[in-house]
Amino acid sequence: MESFGTGLVRGIVADSSILITAERGKLSTTDVIRSLRQAAGNVPIAICALTIAELGHGVYHAATAEKAKQRRQFLDEIKQYVPVHPITGATAELVAQIGGEQALRGITIPLADLIIGACAIELDYAVATHNVRHFRLIPGLDVRKY
């Protein structure tokens, strides 16, 4: 385990916000992974399968063919170099439990963030994100501002 900000982490799930910002900034996948490693240390890095859908949406929603091609290359490289954690039955149960319990408290968590957060909890990893606001609504989730 290495440090990421403050405290130790076993691994990190990179939130879509990090990857979308990197792609928009024309960073290469190597640059993104290097940056995450500098922040997190030598711990496993993963992404949730939902992140593939979010990045893929950008491919099909691109305004130009050139932009779509650039986004497709970025997505394919991310999938090649960063393990994709599937949304399992256990993930779905965590989503249901956390989402339901928080809803009883009047707290609404966007479904995409809830799924990514549940993925991180299932792996016993922290979430690295630009969007700490939503992820901090998930009890038991280690949220790291990136």
**Amino acid, single-letter form, for residue 39:** A
Please say if the pLDDT value at position 132 is more than 90.
yes
Q: What is d(CA 48, CA 92) in angstroms, rounded to the nearest whole number?
A: 12
Please say if the pLDDT value at position 1 is more than 60.
no
Looking at the structure, give the CATH architecture of the domain made up of residues 2-145: 3-Layer(aba) Sandwich (3.40)
Residue-wise pLDDT tens digits, 38-89: 888 889 999 999 999 999 999 999 999 999 999 999 999 999 999 999 999 9
Q: What is d(CA 39, CA 2) in angstroms, rounded to the nearest whole number?
A: 9
DSSP state of 66: H
- Bridge pairing between strands 143-145 and 2-3: unpaired
Residue 33 has what pLDDT? 87
Please say if the pLDDT value at position 24 is more than 80.
yes
**Boundaries of every domain in the chain:** 2-145
Residue 6 has what pLDDT? 59
Closest CA to 129 of 2, 8, 24, 40: 40
CB count within 10 Å of CB 89 equals 8
Global pTM value: 0.91
Q: What is d(CA 10, CA 8) in angstroms, rounded to the nearest whole number?
A: 7
The phi and psi torsions of 110 (rounded to 5 degrees) equal -55, 135
Residue 38 has what pLDDT? 85
Residue 138 has what pLDDT? 98
